[in-house]
């Protein structure tokens, strides 16, 4: 039986409270489980697989969602409008600002899909993190269940020893 099959059997044993596995088998499997580290750094694992375009999309999404972008964008609009309404005698983009609207539409058309791509990658990262958390939590649950069982056994043995000591004391007193 391979380690993964043994681990699966132990998990089934704990989940179903089945008494079919012997204590030695459970102990061996638990020690193998303890030796193996399940936790992974999912962030670096995911980031190592990103292409140049994906990294660029993430940087753009990070910048586009910042206060720096909002302030620069607002200042650019104010400067554009000021230049075309007050400073220039022959403005290149008159009042309804058709050129500005075209530029803003193009920016939105490009920016929205790039941000959505970045969000999809973030969801993928979250799925990897959730899967890793589940594995670590399952391992912890198995180990805690084993510790709890061992503690119950120790308490039972202690109670049995106390009863024996009381019996021995009573015999000695008689």
Return the beta strands (E) in the chain as ranges: none
Pairwise CA distance, residues 27 & 50, whole Å: 41
Tell me the per-residue pLDDT of 12-57, one tens digit each, with 9 for 90 and over. Answer: 555 454 455 566 766 666 666 666 666 677 767 777 888 898 888 8
Residue 4: the pLDDT is 60
Give the whole-angstrom CA distance, residue 136 versus residue 133.
Answer: 5
Tokens of 85: 């309404």
pTM above 0.75, yes or no: no
CA distance 57 to 127: 20
What is the DSSP track for 57-74? HHHHHHHHTSHHHHHHHH
- pLDDT tens-digit map of 65-121: 899 999 999 999 999 999 999 999 999 999 899 999 999 999 999 999 999 999 998
Q: What pLDDT sits at residue 146?
A: 84
Domain residue ranges of the chain, discontinuous segments joined by +: 1-36, 37-173
């Amino acid at each position: 039986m391979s380690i993964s099959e043994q681990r699966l059997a132990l998990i089934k044993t704990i989940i179903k409270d089945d008494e079919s596995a012997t204590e030695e088998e459970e102990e061996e499997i638990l020690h193998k489980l303890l030796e193996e580290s399940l936790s992974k750094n999912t962030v670096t694992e995911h980031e190592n697989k990103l292409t140049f375009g994906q990294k660029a999309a993430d940087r753009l999404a990070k910048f586009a969602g910042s206060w720096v972008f909002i302030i620069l964008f607002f200042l650019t609009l104010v400067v554009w409008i000021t230049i075309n309404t007050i400073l220039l005698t022959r403005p290149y983009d008159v009042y309804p600002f058709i050129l500005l609207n075209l530029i803003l539409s193009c920016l939105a058309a490009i920016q929205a899909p790039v941000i959505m791509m970045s969000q999809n990658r973030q969801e993928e990262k979250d799925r990897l993190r959730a899967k890793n958390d589940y594995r670590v939590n399952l391992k912890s649950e198995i180990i805690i269940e084993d510790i709890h069982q061992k503690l119950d056994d120790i308490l039972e043995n202690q109670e049995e020893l106390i009863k024996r000591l009381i019996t021995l004391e009573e015999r000695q007193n008689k």
